[in-house]
Structures are given as structure tokens and as C-alpha cells.
Amino acid sequence: MNWHFANTLGQLLPHNLSRQVRELYWATVLQNMALAMLLLFEPIYLWQQGFSVEAILWFFLAIYVAYFLALPLGAKFATTTGFEISIALSTVFQIAYYICLYLVAIAWWWAIPAVFLYTLQKMFYWPAFHADFARYSDAAEEGKEVSTLHITLSAVYVIGPLLGGALIAYGSWLMMFAVGCLLILVSNWPLLRTREEFKPRNFPYLDAYKRLFAKENWRSLIGYLGFGEELILLVLWPVFIATVINNYVEIGALVAGSTLIMVLATLYVGKLSDTKNIHSVLRFSTLFYMFAWLVRLTTRSPFGVFIIDSTSRLTKNIVQVPLHTLLYEKAKTRSVMDTVISFEMALVLGKIVAAVILLFAFSQLGSMSAVWSVTWIVAAAMTLLYMTI
């Protein structure tokens, strides 16, 4: 029986990882150990410092507007200097961002340089990350490689929230930020220990916007706008959890437990993405993910939050695996950087749209109960856009 389980598990894992993808895996795992501690508590930290929900939205809207304008510059840097160098450089700005974020407790205006530093981190990281993975992943095992990365990161996100919550509860916010920054710095080692083989190319700035809005790309653009729900998942859902559960360790434990539940299911979806109709997998999982948003309309208890967070993380990962598999498969048949930049720009545009819609809605609403209800409905509606991909 143990042999049967090991054999089944072996069929779900990739077997042809390139050196570049292995290095990217290790660097991503180390960096995400830090992010698993920090991301959940970032919006909660701002909320604890007196930022309203609207102010937090304005903060992240400013980041994504600046990022949308800076993305082609990140692609230009990565294509002329190298993917791994670009990823390593992003960590410098990420550490500086967390320093400024911590200093918001001293003076609110530290949020202004934080916006620009986070923009630079994203600009140097995401184009290079997606291009590196798309170029060096194995076309025959694309789904398995994507799902394995998601599962590896999910294991990290089981430990990270617990560690982050414990560092805050038994130490301080400063301790959590310091440990996170140290891990981010160490994450550069796997990428920089070997020399990257790289051929520079030109990347015109305005061409990125022309491709994004080109008629033949409208379907993909509309589908990727669905990532507007991710802004809500990463920024507003943690604040909502903090209104229901006041203990940081309990918040970390809730998210850790939720993440653990969805691990094996995501591996299986990676196998399906390589062997079945990937569009069917994406559409089926999108419907479930939409319902996970709508169920939030009835949730006000800690147990309800745990059940919904578990379901949401499971269905979110099931959506992400075929979606990213399709992206990397498409990138292999075209220019890698052109494809991933169009994806990332559409994704960012979706987050901008979501923030603008919610800010307008919040200005018209009088109660927080109505605010949360509208937020979940907007997220559910944007989720449906994934079905057009």
C-alpha cells in the first residue's frame, strides 16, 4: 500500500526539471518563506496603525498604477541584463519597502516612499520570474512543474503565517519584519551561485501597451482582468479576518491550516492540466472559486472564516495551475517576455479596476457590513472573467 501511494505521488511530480528551474524553485521558496510571514499581516499592520479600509485601498491602488506604468521598464531591464540579476535586484527594493512600511508606525508619510519601493520590487521581479520559468520549464510537464511550484510554496505558507503570528504575539512587529528581510536577502543565493547564460535583446516601451490592447489579445486581456479578485484576497480578506479574530497566532494558525488542506489536490490538478482539456479544468474550477467568494456573504464566525478560507485557497490554487500552465505554454510558442508582460500588465489592470470599483462603492455605503458584502460580490464577478481565457 505504501508502494502504491509513493508510485501515485511520483506520477504527480515532474521528472525533467532544468537547472534554471531548480534554482528558481529554491530562490522562490526562500523568498516566499518571508512573504508567507509578511503578506498576510501587511494590510493588518496598516489597519492597526489607523489606516481605514479605504486608505489601505488607496495605498495599494497607488502601487498598482505606478507598477502598470513601470512594467515595460522592468521587462527592458530583464531582457538586456538578465532574469536572475533582475530578480536579485528586486529583493533590495523589497527589503527597503518593508523598512518603510515598519516606519509608518512613526509617521504615516513613510507610506509614500513605500509605494515607490514596492513598485520597483514588482517591476524587477515579476517580468523576470515569469520569463525565467516560461523559458526553462519542460513543455511536456508544464502543468506538473507549475503545480509542484504551487505545492512547494503552499508548504511554506503553512509554516509562514504561524511563524509570523508568533513573532508578532511573542516578540514584536519589528522582529517579524527583520526576520522576513533576512530571508529575502538569503533567497538570492540559489540564483547567483551559478552564472546565467543570457542573450540580450531590445524591448521597446510603447510596444508593450500596443500588444496589451491589440484586438487579437482582447480575450486574454478580459480573462486576466479577473485577477482583480486577487487584490481583494491579499489586501481586504486579511483585514476582515482581523475583525473576526483578534489573536495574531490564531490568524496565522487559521491560514496555515487552510493552506495544508489544499496541498494534494493541487498536485492532482497539475497532472490533469498535462493530460486533460486544460480549458475545461480552468472553467470548472473557476465556478467553484466564484461560489467560495459568494459564501463569504454569510460568514461572521471564526469557524466560518476557517472553512471559507480553506475552500477559497483550494479553489484558488486549482484555478491558478491551469491558468499559469496556459500562460507558459503560450510563451513557448511566441516571444517569452512579450507574452508574460502582456499577462502581468492585464493582471495589474484588473487590480486597478477592482480598487477603483470598490473605492467608488465604499464612498456610497454607510456601514461596514455593506462594504464587506459589496467586496465579496465584486470579487466573485471578477473571478468569472477567468472563464474567457
Tens digits of residue pLDDT in 134-185: 776 665 555 566 666 667 776 777 778 888 888 998 899 999 999 999 999 9
Q: What's the pLDDT score for residue 57? A: 96
* 113 vs 367: which has the higher pLDDT: 113
Give the model's confidence band at 32: pLDDT under 50 very low, under 70 low, under 90 confident, else very high.
confident
* 358 vs 19: which has the higher pLDDT: 358
Residue 8 has pLDDT above 60, yes or no: no
Q: What distance in Å separates the CA atoms of residue 136 and residue 83, rounded to the nearest whole number?
A: 12
Assign 138 to helix, strand or coil. coil
Q: What distance in Å separates the CA atoms of residue 42 and residue 114, rounded to the nearest whole number?
A: 12
**What DSSP line would sit under 295-337, residue for residue?**
GGGG--SHHHHHHHHHHHHHHHHHHHHHHHHHHHHHHHHS-HH
- Region 345-350: mean pLDDT is 96
Q: 85 with 132: CB under 8 angstroms?
A: no
- Percent of the chain at pLDDT above 90? 43
* 384 vs 10: which has the higher pLDDT: 384
Angle at 201 between CA 200 and CA 204, to 5 degrees: 140
Nearest alpha carbon to residue 237 among 107, 30, 58, 47: 47
Residue 379 has pLDDT above 50, yes or no: yes
Q: What's the pLDDT score for residue 19? A: 65
Q: 118 with 327: CB under 8 angstroms?
A: no
**Domain range annotation of the chain:** 18-192+215-388
Q: What's the pLDDT score for residue 327? A: 83
Distances (CA, A) of 68 to 61, 63, 102, 325: 10, 9, 25, 23
Q: What's the pLDDT score for residue 13? A: 42
Question: Which region holds residue 50: left if phi is over 0, alpha if psi is between -120 and 50, else beta?
Answer: left
Which positions ≥6 away from 59 have C-beta within 8 Å? 46, 51, 111, 114, 115
Q: What's the pLDDT score for residue 389? A: 82
Residue 9 has pLDDT above 60, yes or no: no
Dihedral over Cα of 138, 78, 88, 99: its sign: negative
- Region 7-31: mean pLDDT is 62
Q: Around Cβ 185, how many Cβ atoms within 10 Å?
A: 17
CATH 1.20.1250.20 fits 18-192+215-388, yes or no: yes
* 115 vs 153: which has the higher pLDDT: 115
Q: What distance in Å separates the CA atoms of residue 21 and residue 131, rounded to the nearest whole number?
A: 11
CA of residue 372 relative to chain centroid, distance: 22
- Phi, psi angles (nearest 5°) of residue 171: -125, -105
Q: What distance in Å separates the CA atoms of residue 301 and residue 311, rounded to the nearest whole number?
A: 15
Across the chain, what does the average pLDDT equal? Answer: 83
Q: What distance in Å separates the CA atoms of residue 376 and residue 380, rounded to the nearest whole number?
A: 6
